Each structure stands twice: as C-alpha cells, then as structure tokens.
C-alpha cells in the first residue's frame, strides 16, 4: 500500500484516509522550504568546466588576434619609415656632344691607372696617369673627365667626374696626377679600378 502526501502539511497519509488526520487534529505543517530554486536547479544552471575552458581559450585567442592586427596596421606609420631612394649617379653631359668634332689631340691622350681615396672629411679624390702617345710635346693640357663604371656585361654607368691640368707632357711621356672626385658615392661604393673607364673632353689647348 502506498501513502499519499498531504498538500497542506506535507505529511504522509495512509491510503485508507480520505482526509489528512493531522490537519483535522489541528496539526501544523512543517516549516516551508526556503525560497529559491532547489540545489539541483542551481547546479543545472551552472556552466560545465570544459565549456568555461573553451570559452576562455576562445576569448584569449580573439584578444591576441585583435592585438596582432592592430600592431600590423599601426606599424607602417609608427616604425617603418619609407626607405630613402637610392642615390642617383651624377648626371653628366657627354664629353663630346653628338656630332661635334673631337679635339685633334684626343686620339693621342690616354687617362688610366685609377686609384681612389678619401680624406677625413669624406671627400673623394682620384689618382690617375695621363699618357701622351704622340711624338710631340703637349703643353697646357686641360680636360674634363667623366668616370664611368663598366659591368662585366658591358653596361656603362657614370659614377663621378673630375678635371685636371697637365702643364707639360713630353713625347710618349706619362704623368701621374691627382684631382678631387665629384661623386654621389662613397669611395668604398665605387667599382674597382679594372671596371672604371675615363671619357674625357679636352678643353685646352684650343684646337
């Protein structure tokens, strides 16, 4: 036989009784349970530990990704300065204008034997040899020289210029001279001597 629970006092009542004998005798119902959800209901509303772990992991990953993208977006303005353009070589005019008649002494003069140096103020200088390949005296020889770099593939690029004056060159004589070199490059940036060529225009004596 099963008992039933009185809805008033909450006590078990034998099934033979139609009414609760405790309530009929003036019995008091037990103290009501404290308000609020049952412990089982509160436990059901709590997040499981694995769900909390996943939630925190996703949150930290999202924060890290947002910080990374913010850093990348601000980096070009804050830390990456625009690289300066490469130094252009000096713009030279051709020693001999196109179609102009070369100086008659040009075929007898050679400029070779280049050696480059730099002083404490980073001013470049060039030592070179002027050769007179003729059997005549050359007096008051003056020239403007364009120094050109020649690559192994044959490409030519002006890298500097200078001028000189040789007071006198005897027949088949050579003379070593030194002159300031006008260039946009440091001496260590210039090619080695074997890749340098001189293109010159004789300015004196008058033809």
Band the pLDDT of 2: cuts 50, 70, 90.
low
Question: pLDDT of 126-162, one tens digit each?
Answer: 999 999 999 999 999 999 999 999 988 889 999 999 9
CATH number of 107-204: 2.60.40.10
Tell me the two tokens of residue 136.
């005549």
Which residues in 185-205 are b (16+ Cβ under 10 Å) and which e? bebeebbeeeebebbbbbeee
Question: pLDDT of 63-74, one tens digit each?
Answer: 888 888 777 777
Tell me the two tokens of residue 138.
């050359």
Question: pLDDT of 9-45, one tens digit each?
Answer: 878 878 777 788 878 776 554 444 455 555 555 544 5
pTM for this predicted structure: 0.53
Domain ranges of the chain: 107-204
> Side by side, which strands form the sheet with 196-204?
156-169, 138-150, 196-204
């Amino acid at each position: 036989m099963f008992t039933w629970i009185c809805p008033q006092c909450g006590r078990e009542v034998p099934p033979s009784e139609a009414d609760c004998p405790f309530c009929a005798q003036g019995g008091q119902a037990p103290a009501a349970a404290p308000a609020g959800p049952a412990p089982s209901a509160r436990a059901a509303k709590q997040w499981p530990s694995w769900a909390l772990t996943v939630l925190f992991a996703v949150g930290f990953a999202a924060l890290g990704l947002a910080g990374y993208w913010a850093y990348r977006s601000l980096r070009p303005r804050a830390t990456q300065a625009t690289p300066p353009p490469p130094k252009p070589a000096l713009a030279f005019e051709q020693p001999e204008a196109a179609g102009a008649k070369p100086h008659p002494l040009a075929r007898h003069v050679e400029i070779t034997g280049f050696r480059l140096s730099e002083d404490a103020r980073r001013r470049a200088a060039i030592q070179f040899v002027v050769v007179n390949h003729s059997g005549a005296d050359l007096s008051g020889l003056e020239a403007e020289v364009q120094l050109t770099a020649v690559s192994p593939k044959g490409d030519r690029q002006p890298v500097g210029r200078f001028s000189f004056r040789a007071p006198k060159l005897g027949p088949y004589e050579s003379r070593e001279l030194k002159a300031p070199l006008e260039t946009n490059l440091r001496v260590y940036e210039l090619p080695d001597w074997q890749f340098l060529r001189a293109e010159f225009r004789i300015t004196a004596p008058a033809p």
